[in-house]
Amino acid sequence: MRSSHFAALVASQPANALFRFSLAQALLAENRPAEAVEHLQFCAAHKADWMLPRILLGKTLLGLGRRAEAKPWLEQALQLAIAQTHEDPERELRALLAELG
């Protein structure tokens, strides 16, 4: 779906993390990563054990050249992947963090 659809939902219910996550995903699909950052940050802050917004936020920040900001989000996502036994995300996050050094 287009971001305009989810933007309207977020405007009607700004505290709804699922609407914000959907908006962030739509913005990323539309190649508008800078606009997705605030929504991914909201989602990560909304739920301490929600791994996916942290992964997407870290990757988005990396893509925007904001490596130092990306690293803590990726580290948090890795800890959640380990705690929740998500092996594929764990491998991917370990590789990304190894590249960051």
| Total-model pTM | 0.94
- Report the C-alpha gap between 40 and 23 in whole angstroms: 9
pLDDT in tens, 36-91: 999 999 999 999 999 999 999 999 999 999 999 999 999 999 999 999 999 999 99
96 pLDDT more than 80: yes
pLDDT tens digits for range 21-33: 999 999 999 999 9
Nearest to 86 by CA among 49, 58, 59, 57: 49
pLDDT band at 1 (very low <50, low <70, confident <90, very high): confident
Domain boundaries, the chain: 3-100
CATH classification code of 3-100: 1.25.40.10
The two tokens of residue 80 are: 């959640």
Q: Distance between CA 25 and CA 59 in Å, rounded? A: 12
CA angle in degrees (0–180, nearest 5) for 8-46-60: 75
